[in-house]
Amino acid sequence: MLVSVPARTGPQASTVMTQDALSSIAFIHAPDAFLAETQQYGAMFMPVWAYTLAAYVEEPERYDLRLYDTRFDRAEDVPRADLFVFSGVNQDYETIVSTHAVLRALHPDSTFVIGGPITWSLNQAGEGAKLEMFDHVFIGDGEEAFPRFLKMFAERQRLPRVLETKERFDVTRARGFYRPFLDATFSRYYGGVLEVSRGCPFLCEFCDIRVLPDNNRPHNFAPEHIVAELDHMARLGIRQVLCAADNFIGDLRWAEEVLDRIIEWQERTGLRVALYTWLTINLSKHPRLLKKMRQANFDMLFIGVESFSNNSLLETAKVQNTARDMVEALREIQSYGFAVVAGLIFGFDSDTPDAFEMTLDGMSNAGLISGDPSLLTALPGTPLFRRMKLSGRLRNNKNSLGGYKYCTNIRYLMPRDEMVAGYQRFVRRFCEGDYQYARLRSFLDNLDRGNYVPLNSEGYGSLGKYISMVFKSPGAVKMLLRRALQIASRPAVTWYSLQAFLLVLSRSRRHRRLFGVFQFWLFNWTNAMLKYEGLTDADFDIESVPEGFDRSLILPEHYTDEAGEDIPQAKIAAQQRATVGQLRRLTVLQ
């Protein structure tokens, strides 16, 4: 029987529906359909949030727990549940809303709740009302909030509509994934995803990781938990795992301990899994760690390079990237055999029109075989968002939360025409065969520094696994065909692909297991060609400040005022010193 609890007054009031019994809970993973098919070129990743939250349901055997992923299951076919649980990132908003609408219409007496990064961002942007169709909205970690909610819900206690948890969950107590979900669905996805750490000690101006409560320091999962989860995944047959972390080397001692445990586990069991993670350029200063990461089978590393201009890096307070010659640091890291996936950004106030050429040169000199720039956006809650707001430079478009390609929520300092022309110059050169070939050769040259450690696994990028996945999605199949056509129909692409293959073959005499490098290089090149094919001025939903813009607004008054972030003041001051110092220089330039 349904019970309706009367609405409370106040901003978070609502009518709360509770039931006699809570017996069925359905987790709905509803990523944006188009982006899900195209963003990762057909590679689909597992719904970590659902595997995680389900593990915290006390006495799960008392419930009928189900998991649906709208990339495989039609919302129309999802049977009734007492509780529908949603999550997502900002770009999933429209799909979440439409999936919710279908399920609500079919099951009007069910309760619908949502959490995840999207709720945090909307709340930061003051746009929480965009989720008003949900009965309850959760902000923050869910490991404790979710079971607490379930208990209160089942007991028919009155619950606020918005439930915010500011305390971080102690991840050293983390439970493993809910096995029935993982075991039943893992084969749908590209490898596995395992969360190993939360938080980052740095303070980049554009980054929203720093603004989550108590997230400016590492929260590390226990090494034995990580190994136990890897062991389970490996025994299921998973051979590629994304180790989800904001910065894997935010705590060097912990990172080394994790590596030692993984190496020990591999030797003990003979199991091997290729790993990918996120970390900072500082890794280049730690040769022992670099070697151990390879021995532990880390294959690819995402590093926020952001820019090859020191001024832009200072502006965004990415000081760790200015401490050492960036190209040299990247070469050193890659000399061990890692493929660095570089995060790159255009649109900093300090960017000059040659930013595009600097990036092309930097990528080629460093031998980066992956990395694709995006345009600077201001994520809600970040100091950059506040700066843009204070100077009236926020754009209120559909992308107010950021995350779309060629579309931004801020007005750039560089005139729009220059931005678009520069980006297009970048794209043209980036896709040319001789450029691609040169950067592959530069990558391979890095391996001659005497540090190369071959992987003991098939590598993170598996062509076979990828192709089998692509065939499950019509959009991805279409992309694959376009990709094949591109190689076959352009003599230059065929020519340079062949040259590259021969180059890799010849280097294989010196270094074992290089074929994966060739695959990954070709995958990235053809991705770029697909993505940028037919790119025109009209594709850019961007704006710049008007002519005659008052340059003093680059550094608006009150930028350095207390922003309410839960971070030691001295650290914030250090970030502001870098940003303010650089911006002050810009305000006087004409």
Letters for 303-322 (x = contact with ligand SF4 by CB under 6 A, - = none) are -x------------------
Nearest approach in angstroms of CB 45 to ligand B12 is 4
Q: Which one of ligand SF4, ligand B12, none is in contact with 304 (Cβ closer than 5 to 8 A by kind)?
A: ligand SF4
Letters for 167-186 (x = contact with ligand B12 by CB under 6 A, - = none) are --x-----------------
Instruction: For residue 384, give the nearest of 397, 374, 393, 373 by alpha carbon.
Output: 393
Task: Find the binder of ligand B12 among 84, 93, 146, 426 (CB under 6 A).
Answer: 146
Nearer to ligand SF4, 123 or 575 (CB): 575
Please give the radius of gyration of the chain, using alpha carbons only, rounded to the nearest integer.
24
8 Å CB contact between 453 and 294: yes
Nearer to ligand SF4, 137 or 211 (CB): 211
Nearer to ligand B12, 25 or 555 (CB): 25
Question: Does 376 sit near ligand B12 (CB under 6 A)?
Answer: no
Task: Find the binder of ligand B12 among 36, 182, 296, 476 (CB under 6 A).
Answer: 36
Round to whole Å and give the CA distance between 174 and 224.
11
Total of chain residues touching ligand SF4, rule CB under 6 A: 11
Beta partners for residue 86, in sequence order: 28, 114
Residue list 272-301, contact with ligand B12 (CB under 6 A): 278
Task: Find the binder of ligand B12 among 42, 117, 191, 192 (CB under 6 A).
Answer: 117
Letters for 272-301 (x = contact with ligand SF4 by CB under 6 A, - = none) are --------x---------------------
Residue list 190-229, contact with ligand SF4 (CB under 6 A): 200, 202-204, 207, 209-210
Phi and psi based region of residue 17 (left: phi greater than 0; alpha: psi -120 to 50; beta: remaining): beta
Q: Which residue has the tokens 């593990």?
A: 55
Helices 515-532 and 491-507 pack at an angle, to 10 degrees, of 160
Nearer to ligand B12, 410 or 444 (CB): 410
Round to whole Å and give the CA distance between 284 and 328.
9
Please state the three-class secondary structure of 280-294 as a single string. CHHHHHCHHHHHHHH
3-state helix, strand, coil in the chain (%, to 5): 45, 15, 40
Q: Which residue has the tokens 């299951």?
A: 73
Question: Does 85 sit near ligand B12 (CB under 6 A)?
Answer: yes
Q: Which one of ligand B12, ligand SF4, none is in contact with 113 (Cβ closer than 5 to 8 A by kind)?
A: ligand B12
Round to whole Å and give the CA distance between 457 and 293.
13
Task: Find the binder of ligand B12 among 22, 26, 28, 31 (CB under 6 A).
Answer: 31
Q: Which one of ligand B12, ligand SF4, none is in contact with 583 (Cβ closer than 5 to 8 A by kind)?
A: none
Round to whole Å and give the CA distance between 453 and 439.
20
Instruction: For residue 466, give the nearest of 458, 371, 498 by alpha carbon.
Output: 458
DSSP annotation string for 65-109: EEEEETTTS-GGGPPP-SEEEEE--GGGHHHHHHHHHHHHHH-TT
Beta partners for residue 243, in sequence order: 194, 277
Nearer to ligand B12, 405 or 511 (CB): 405
Round to whole Å and give the CA distance between 496 and 440.
11
Nearest approach in angstroms of CB 11 to ligand B12 is 20
Residue list 197-236, contact with ligand B12 (CB under 6 A): 198, 208-209
8 Å CB contact between 300 and 338: yes
Nearer to ligand B12, 31 or 337 (CB): 31
Nearer to ligand SF4, 44 or 249 (CB): 249
Q: Which residue has the tokens 């963003």?
A: 39
Instruction: For residue 48, give the nearest of 67, 33, 32 by alpha carbon.
Output: 67
Residue numbers of the site for ligand SF4 (CB under 6 A)? 200, 202-204, 207, 209-210, 246-247, 280, 304
Residues found near ligand B12 in the complex (CB under 6 A): 31, 35-36, 39-40, 45-46, 48-49, 52-53, 85, 87, 89-91, 113-118, 121, 138, 141-143, 145-146, 169, 193, 195, 198, 208-209, 242, 244, 246, 278, 403
